[in-house]
Amino acid sequence: MAEIISSATGRRKTAVARVNLLAGSGKAQINRKEPEVHIPSEALRSYMLQPLKIAGVEEKYDVQAFVKGGGITGQSGAIRHAIARALCAADDSLRAPLKAAGCMTRDPRMKERKKPGQPGARRRFQFSKR
């Protein structure tokens, strides 16, 4: 097995991703599966690997991700955040371009909680005057 260069944790919504960057040729694995199996959407896969493209190291590192919680959108966002943080841990000069692209920011948007006496977070029961 290849040597781990750096590792990091990323989060989005309720998804948490742990990523290991290994010296390699640009392969990716998510939960020991191919990315095409775990994330069927091509747009989400390219979004997930965006930090490698920005840093220009697509062919230099292999990505090994372990992700749990949330759906595929949250999971791909969590992996993106973790990859960006791992790249910064490996090479601090990459921080500025990754930060400018918004890869270093943890997306704070979460599902709003359901309020008591209501059917949902914002939805109200229908008002009846009589």
Res 1 pLDDT > 70: no
Could you read off the pLDDT of 33-87 as tens digits, one per residue?
999 999 999 999 999 999 999 999 999 999 999 999 999 999 999 999 999 999 9
The DSSP string of 98-124 is HHHTT-SS-----PPPPPTTSSSSS--
Q: Compute CA distances 113 → 12, 19, 83, 108, 120, whole Å.
A: 16, 29, 29, 14, 8
Q: Compute CA distances 58 → 43, 99, 120, whole Å.
A: 17, 18, 43
23: which residues sit within 8 A by CB, 6+ positions away?
2, 3, 5, 60, 61, 62
What is the set of domains in the chain, with CATH numbers?
Answer: 4-100 (3.30.230.10)
Res 97 pLDDT > 90: yes
Q: What is the DSSP letter of 125?
A: P
Average pLDDT over every residue of 110-117: 95
